[in-house]
A and B are shown apart, each in its own frame.
Chain A
Amino acid sequence: MLDNPAPLVPRDTADLVAIIRDAVDAETPLELYGHGTKRGIGHPVVARAGVDLSAISGVLFYEPDEIVIGLYAGTPLAEVEALLAANNQELAFEPIDYGPLFGLPPGSGTIGGALAANLGGPRRIRSGAARDHVLGVAAVSGRGEVFKSGGRVVKNVTGYDLSKGLAGSWGTLAAFTELTFKVLPRPEFSATIALFGLGDAEGVELLCRAMGSPAEVSGAAHLPAAPAAALPHLASAGRSCTLIRLEGFRPSVLYRAEKLNALIGATHETARLDGAKSRDIWRVIRDAGPFVDHVDPVWRVSTAPTAGPAFVEALRAGITFRHYYDWSGGLVWIEIPDAPADAGASAIRSALARFGGHATLVRAPGIEISVPRFQPQPPALAALSRRLKSAFDPLNILNPGRMG
C-alpha cells in the first residue's frame, strides 16, 4: 500500500542513509524489501514509498578455509548458494524459498531477507536458523544512523548480540547493508528413510525417538496421506509418509542408517532414498510444497515436538484443514480451505494455548488487517518489544505495523 508505486533504489549505504534521514525529517514511513518474495507475510505496510534494497548487492569476501562469507545484504540468495556450492559449502540453515507459496517463481530472495525473516528449513532442529549462523551485521537504523555489531568470527561476546536481535525483525528495526555468515561444509551424502501408513501420533513419536538417538538426524517430518502425495520419488499410494534424513560422509550415513533401521524395528516397511532424490524430497517439505499451487491461508505453528499431534487433534474440533509436520513434530504447516473470516486465527491460537508456542499466518489472501499475523504477546513482553522498536526506530519509519 504505497502512495508512490515507484520504489527508491539505494545504490549503496550512503544512499540508504540519505533516504532514511529524509524520511525521518518528513516523518513519513518506508516499506523495506529486497526481492519482495516475503512481502505477503506479516501485516501489510502502509508507507509513502517502497525502498528496494536489492541493488546493494555483491560478495564482500569469501574465505572457504575460514568458513566465513561477507555479503552486501541485497545479494541474491541463489547467487550465494551457488558460490558456496562451488566450494562444497553451504548455508547450513537451509533457508526456505517462500516465493512459490505466493505464486512467484522459485530461486528468488536476498540474503538480507533471509536474516530479516530468520529463515530456517528442515535442518533447523539440528543446525539452527539464520540467527544461529549470522556473525555480524552493518545496518542503518530508523534514525538514519549506520551501526555495526558482531564481527567475522564464530566466538564473540563483545557487546550485545544485535545480529541476533535483528534476526526475524522483518525490517522493522533497521535496514541491513552488510552481513557476515558462518558457512559449513555441504554434506557429501544425503539419505532419507521413509515409513508409510503411520498415524500422526505414531509418526511423531517415532521421529522423537530418532531425534533422541545418536543417529544425528538432520530432518524429521511426517506428512498425512494428502500432502504426502506432493512428495517426489515416493510411491506413497494414498498412505502417510514419515521421513527421517541423515546427512554427512557416506560411510557415516550408511552406518547411521543401519542403526536407525534397528531402532525402527522390523515391524515397519521402510524405503531408503539417496542423494538427489533425498534432497528433492526435503526441498518440497522445506518450501511448503504440498500447499504451493493453492491460494488458501497457510499457517506455521511452532510448538514442542510431542505437542504437535495433540495440538492438531484439538484443532479438529474447530475447523477443517490440511497439515503436515516438520521439525520432529514441532513445526506444523496448516492450510485452511474455505477459511473463516479470521483465516482460522481464533481456532488455531486457542487450540495452541494449551501447548505453548506460536502461530504465524504466512499466506493471508484477502484476510482482514485486524487479524494478527504474528502471535500476540502478553502485555509486559509486548511493551518491551515496543520499547525495543523505539530504540532503533523512534519515529516508526521502517515497515510500520508489519509485525502487528
Chain B
Amino acid sequence: MSSLAMPAPNEAHLARREEIAAALRAIVPGEGVVTAPDEMRVFETDGLTAYRQLPLVVVLPETVEQVSRVLAYCDSNAIPVVPRGSGTSLSGGALPLADGVLLVMSRFNRVLEIDYPNRTATVQPGVTNLAITKAVSARGFYYAPDPSSQIACSIGGNVAENSGGVHCLKYGLTTNNILGLEMVLMSGEIVRLGGKHLDSEGYDLLGLLTGSEGLLGVVTEVTVRILQSPETARAVLFGFPTSEAGGACVAAVIAAGIIPGGMEMMDRPAIHATEAYTKAGYPLDVEALLIVELDGPQGEVDFLIGEVETIARRCGAAYVRVSQNESERQLFWLGRKAAFPAVGRLAPDYLCMDGTIPRKQLPHVLARMREMSKKYGLEVANVFHAGDGNLHPLILYDGNNPGEFDRAEAFGADILRLCVEVGGVLTGEHGVGIEKRDLMGEMFNEDDLKQQQRVKCAFDPQHLLNPGKVFPVLHRCAELGRLHVHKGRLPHPDLPRF
C-alpha cells in the first residue's frame, strides 16, 4: 500500500455498521447485502491491485427501485457510496471506502432489447462489453468500442470510464457510441437521458456523465448504437529501424486521408517480450513494429492495403508482411493483445501507465523515457495506440524489494508529467481514479478543477458518490458556490460599459 491518502473514515459510520446493514437489508432482501469480511474480500480491490480496502458493507441491488432507495438512504445518512461494475478499473475507480457502501451492479446483467432497424441495443449496466457484441453478432452487428478487458468489463463501467479500445480513431469512444442512459442520482431520483434518438433536448448530460468515473450518478440502463460488422479486415505488419520512422509512417498514412481501423505500435522491449511469449512471428531486428488494420468493404480494403504499403516503404519500413487470411490476421494481433501479460513475465510486477501524447512527440517521449528508466533503475516497455496517441508504458518492478514500488510510482508520475508537458494528457482511457488523482494539478489549475467540482455539486452536493477519486482536494459545495465581486476594481477601463 502506498502513500495515496483516502478521506479519513467517519468513525460514526463504522460504529453504526450493523444498523446500516440492517437498513440496507430492508431495501435489498436475501443475499444482496454482504457484511462478512471473508465474503467482502473479493471486492476489496479492482484492476489496480496495489490498493486494497474492505468496504463498510457490500450491496448487490437487483432493481432500479432498490438502487434508488439505497442511494436515498445513504444520502440522508451522509454515507459514502462507491459504485462498482466488474471491477476491472486500472486506476482504482472502484476502490472501496472503509466507511462506505460498495454498490455492486453485477446483478443488472440482462440484455433488454435489440432493435435492428434502429441499430440500437438496450442493456443493463452489468452486461459485459463483449456480451453486447455476442448478442447481436448473429445478425452481423457489433458494438464498436473494444477495451482489451472487454471479456470482463461491464458496459456500466465503460460509461463511467468512457472506455476506448484499439479502434477508437475510426469508431470513437464509449461517449460516441451511446444514445441513452437511465441513472440514479445520489438523492435517489431516477433520470433518463436520450433514448434511441440523437442529440439532447437540453444540456448534454449524456456527454457529461460518460467518463465521470462514478462521481455523478449510478447508471442503471444503457442504450448503445450497434454497427454492421465490416465486410472484411486485413492487417499489415511493418518493422522500422527507428521509432521516428514508425511515427512518420503513421502521420503519412493519416495525411493520405486514410483512417485505419487500428494502428498499434510497440517498441523494442515490447516486441521482444511478446514474441517470446506468443511466437506471433514479429521481426526482432527492428526498433518499432507497427500493426495497421484496415477494415471495411472488400473493395476498399484491397485498395487501401496497397496505398498503406507504398507509404510505409517510402517511410523506410524494413519489414512488411500483409495478412493473407483471417487466421494470419489474428496471429498478427495475438502478440499485441498479449503484450501486458508478456511484459509481465519479465518481472514480478508491472505498472501500466496510460498517457496520451500528440503523435509527433513519440520519438521525443520515448527518448526521455529511456533516460528516466536509467535514473530510476527500472525497465520500461511501450505499447502505443499510434492512431490516437495513447501510450501505455509498462514499468517493471519487484514489489518484494523495499522501496521499488514507490520508485515505480514516481517513475510513472514522471512519465505522465512528461505527457502533459508535450501537449498530452494524464489518462487516455484508464481514468484518473485514485492513481492519477494527485497529478490533476499538472494539467489543470485551481479554477479548472473548481469548475469541475461545481458540476459535481449539481449532481451530488454532499460529495457522497465515490469521494476521494479524481479530485486531489475536495472543496465543500457552499465554498465553491461563493461569488466574489470586484466592484470598482475593473481592468480595461477603456471598454464600453453599461
Chain A residues packing against B (C-beta within 8 Å): 3-4, 6, 8, 10, 14-15, 18-19, 21-22, 24-26, 28, 48-49, 63-68, 88, 118, 120, 124-125, 128-129, 131-132, 141, 143, 145-149, 151-162, 164-169, 173, 184-186, 188, 205, 208-209, 211-216, 248-249, 251-252, 254-256, 259, 302-307, 327, 330-331, 356-358, 360, 374-375, 377-378, 380-381, 384-385, 387-392, 394-395, 403
Tell me the B94-118 residues at the A interface (CB within 8 Å): 115-118
Residue B455 is within 8 A (CB to CB) of chain A in the complex: yes
CB pair B491–A252 under 8 Å, yes or no, is no
CB pair B173–A14 under 8 Å, yes or no, is no
CB pair B424–A151 under 8 Å, yes or no, is yes
Residue B200 is within 8 A (CB to CB) of chain A in the complex: yes
Least Cβ–Cβ distance between B346 and chain A, in angstroms: 26
Residue B255 is within 8 A (CB to CB) of chain A in the complex: yes
Given A153-B428, A157-B428, A251-B303, also A18-B492 (CB < 8 A): yes
Count chain A CB atoms within 10 A of each CB in B195, B297, B298 and give the residue with the most. B297
The 10 closest A-B pairs by CB, nearest first: A164-B207, A255-B299, A252-B300, A185-B257, A358-B201, A375-B201, A304-B196, A155-B428, A387-B458, A391-B454
Complex alpha-carbon distance, A360 and B118, angstroms: 21
Residue B399 is within 8 A (CB to CB) of chain A in the complex: no
Query: Can you identify 29 A-B contacts, CB atoms within 8 angstroms?
Result: A24-B485, A25-B486, A28-B498, A65-B254, A65-B359, A118-B199, A118-B204, A128-B172, A132-B172, A145-B451, A154-B169, A155-B173, A155-B429, A157-B161, A165-B203, A165-B207, A165-B208, A168-B200, A185-B258, A251-B303, A255-B298, A304-B197, A306-B118, A377-B202, A381-B205, A387-B459, A388-B203, A389-B203, A392-B454
Chain A-chain B contacts (Cβ-Cβ < 8 Å), number: 307
Complex alpha-carbon distance, A158 and B443, angstroms: 9
CB pair B459–A152 under 8 Å, yes or no, is no
Complex alpha-carbon distance, A219 and B495, angstroms: 47
Complex alpha-carbon distance, A36 and B189, angstroms: 38
Mask, B390-419, CB within 8 Å of A = 1, is: 100000000000000000000000000000
CB pair B297–A256 under 8 Å, yes or no, is yes
Contacting residues, chain B, for A151 (C-beta < 8 A): 356, 423-425, 443
Complex alpha-carbon distance, A205 and B118, angstroms: 10
Contacting residues, chain A, for B440 (C-beta < 8 A): 158-159
CB pair B498–A4 under 8 Å, yes or no, is yes
Residue B9 is within 8 A (CB to CB) of chain A in the complex: no
Given A148-B448, A384-B459, also A154-B191 (CB < 8 A): no
Complex alpha-carbon distance, A10 and B205, angstroms: 30
Complex alpha-carbon distance, A156 and B357, angstroms: 10
CB pair B176–A132 under 8 Å, yes or no, is yes
The stretch of B58-66, B71-79, B224-232, B317-325 that contacts the partner chain? B224-232
CB pair A302–B496 under 8 Å, yes or no, is no
Least Cβ–Cβ distance between A262 and chain B, in angstroms: 13
CB pair B202–A403 under 8 Å, yes or no, is yes
Contacting residues, chain B, for A185 (C-beta < 8 A): 254, 256-259
CB pair A153–B356 under 8 Å, yes or no, is yes
Contacting residues, chain A, for B299 (C-beta < 8 A): 251-252, 254-256
Chain B residues packing against A (C-beta within 8 Å): 115-120, 140-141, 161-162, 164, 168-169, 172-173, 175-176, 185, 189-193, 195-205, 207-208, 210-212, 216, 228-231, 251-252, 254-259, 296-300, 303-304, 356-360, 385, 388-390, 423-432, 436, 440, 443-444, 447-452, 454-459, 470, 481, 483, 485-487, 490-492, 495-498
CB pair B452–A65 under 8 Å, yes or no, is no
CB pair A214–B297 under 8 Å, yes or no, is yes
Count chain B CB atoms within 10 A of each CB in A153, A330, A331 and give the residue with the most. A153
A380 nearest in chain B by CB position: B189
Contact of B300 among A124, A155, A255, A374 (CB under 8 A): A255
Contacting residues, chain B, for A188 (C-beta < 8 A): 257
CB pair A306–B429 under 8 Å, yes or no, is no
B461 nearest in chain A by CB position: A387
Given A48-B498, A124-B198, also A155-B164 (CB < 8 A): yes
Complex alpha-carbon distance, A403 and B201, angstroms: 9
CB pair A155–B198 under 8 Å, yes or no, is no
Complex alpha-carbon distance, A27 and B230, angstroms: 56
CB pair B425–A158 under 8 Å, yes or no, is yes
Contacting residues, chain A, for B210 (C-beta < 8 A): 161, 164
CB pair B452–A160 under 8 Å, yes or no, is yes
Least Cβ–Cβ distance between A390 and chain B, in angstroms: 7
Contacting residues, chain A, for B432 (C-beta < 8 A): 157-159
Least Cβ–Cβ distance between B254 and chain A, in angstroms: 6
Contacting residues, chain A, for B450 (C-beta < 8 A): 145, 147
CB pair B199–A302 under 8 Å, yes or no, is yes
A258 nearest in chain B by CB position: B299
Complex alpha-carbon distance, A312 and B380, angstroms: 60
Complex alpha-carbon distance, A168 and B169, angstroms: 23
CB pair B390–A155 under 8 Å, yes or no, is yes
CB pair A155–B117 under 8 Å, yes or no, is no
Contacting residues, chain A, for B390 (C-beta < 8 A): 153, 155
Least Cβ–Cβ distance between B215 and chain A, in angstroms: 8
Least Cβ–Cβ distance between A237 and chain B, in angstroms: 30
CB pair A211–B119 under 8 Å, yes or no, is yes
Contacting residues, chain A, for B443 (C-beta < 8 A): 151, 158-159
CB pair A216–B490 under 8 Å, yes or no, is no
B217 nearest in chain A by CB position: A384
A379 nearest in chain B by CB position: B189
Least Cβ–Cβ distance between B91 and chain A, in angstroms: 9
CB pair B211–A160 under 8 Å, yes or no, is yes
Complex alpha-carbon distance, A154 and B166, angstroms: 12
Given A125-B198, A330-B198, also A149-B452 (CB < 8 A): yes
CB pair A377–B201 under 8 Å, yes or no, is yes
Complex alpha-carbon distance, A156 and B185, angstroms: 25
Least Cβ–Cβ distance between A360 and chain B, in angstroms: 7
Count chain B CB atoms within 10 A of each CB in A146, A147, A157, A330 and give the residue with the most. A157
B443 nearest in chain A by CB position: A158
CB pair A156–B425 under 8 Å, yes or no, is yes
Complex alpha-carbon distance, A25 and B487, angstroms: 6
Least Cβ–Cβ distance between B307 and chain A, in angstroms: 8
Complex alpha-carbon distance, A302 and B251, angstroms: 38
Contact of B191 among A148, A161, A380 (CB under 8 A): A380
A185 nearest in chain B by CB position: B257
Contacting residues, chain A, for B256 (C-beta < 8 A): 185
Contacting residues, chain B, for A165 (C-beta < 8 A): 203-205, 207-208, 455
A3 nearest in chain B by CB position: B498
Count chain A CB atoms within 10 A of each CB in B451, B459, B495 and give the residue with the most. B451
CB pair B496–A8 under 8 Å, yes or no, is yes
Contacting residues, chain A, for B430 (C-beta < 8 A): 157
CB pair A395–B483 under 8 Å, yes or no, is yes
Least Cβ–Cβ distance between B249 and chain A, in angstroms: 11
Contacting residues, chain A, for B196 (C-beta < 8 A): 303-304, 307, 356
CB pair B117–A306 under 8 Å, yes or no, is yes
Least Cβ–Cβ distance between A122 and chain B, in angstroms: 12
CB pair B189–A394 under 8 Å, yes or no, is no
Contacting residues, chain B, for A154 (C-beta < 8 A): 168-169, 356, 388-389
CB pair B202–A385 under 8 Å, yes or no, is yes
